[in-house]
Amino acid sequence: MTDTLPAMRRRVPWLAATVFAVRSETQAARTIVLDVPGWPGHSAGQHVDVKLTAPDGYSAERSYSLAAPAAGTRLELTVQRVDDGEVSPYLVDELLPMDQLELRGPIGGWFTWHTDEPGPVLLVAGGSGIVPLMAMVRARAVAGSSAPFTLVYSVRGPADEYYAEELRAADIDVRFLHTRTGSPGRRIAAADLPDMVGARVYVCGPTGFVESVSELLLAAGHAPADIRTERFGPSGG
């Protein structure tokens, strides 16, 4: 035996996170600002897994997208409440500054945009699928990138918009699509998507939304290799 055995490969470890602040985005969603000592940094579009453990040892894990570039060891998640969920009602309604939770990440290198990429970029968000795309919008602003960005944000109505003021003030092309304010409600359609064939496209939202938008994009002539998607299901709870 020697005393220089190679270290075990370090897998993605659980890190202790302390809540620094919380702020409401809508009636059903809020942003949680966390301090995570040891945070290695992340790219726009990545997510984290959050683990909550009950006093009896039962634990539950959920994935949430990072909403902004990291500021040192400080990062932001935006969480939508799923009413019958196990985890999100606690995160949205009960979590307070100084509370602690466990977190691992950053996770996922595919659904990412890097600030040295010149664009153009088309972002298509369905509901809370805006969160990782907002991280891209914010990373672009922080980096001073001039990559042309267009965001199509499908959401039920104005009361359900996340980051509404910030998006309206951003120096990118933002198009809100309200699906439940008219009567009858409507779904995203070909005419809602700008003609940006050749752009890198990021689509995030519920599975049905992402499948619909992907079909529209392919029908409009976008190459499959230009389209990156992230689907979330009812599991978000």
Partner 1 sequence: MFVDGNAAAGPLAEALGIDLTTAVVTCAGCGVSGVFAETRVYDQGPGVVARCRSCEAVLIRLVRTATDAWLDLRGARSVRIPLAP
Q: Of 22-30, 135-143, 193-201, 229-237, which segment contacts partner 1 by CB under 8 A?
A: 229-237
How far apart, in whole angstroms, are the C-alpha atoms of residue 129 and residue 209?
10
- 57 to 96: interface string for partner 1, x by CB under 8 A: ----x-x---------------------------------
Nearest approach, Cβ of residue 230 and partner 1 (Å): 5
H-state helical runs in the chain: 88-93, 130-143, 164-169, 207-219
Of 40, 72, 97, 109, the one binding partner 1 by CB under 8 A = 109
> Rg for the chain (alpha carbons), in Å?
19
Q: Of 69-77, 90-98, 100-108, 192-200, which segment contacts partner 1 by CB under 8 A?
A: 100-108
How far apart, in whole angstroms, are the C-alpha atoms of residue 218 and residue 125?
17
Site size toward partner 1, by CB under 8 A:
25
Residues listed for the chain: 237
- 155 to 174: interface string for partner 1, x by CB under 8 A: --------------------
Nearest approach, Cβ of residue 211 and partner 1 (Å): 10
How far apart, in whole angstroms, are the C-alpha atoms of residue 174 and residue 158?
14
With tokens 């932001």, the residue in question is 76
Task: Give the strand pairing for 47-53 and 59-65.
Answer: antiparallel
Q: Does 230 bind partner 1 (CB under 8 A)?
A: yes
Of 27, 40, 207, 223, the one binding partner 1 by CB under 8 A = 207
Closest CA relative to residue 235, chosen from 208, 212, 206: 206
Site residues (CB under 8 A) for partner 1? Answer: 9-12, 47-49, 61, 63, 104-105, 107-111, 207, 228-235
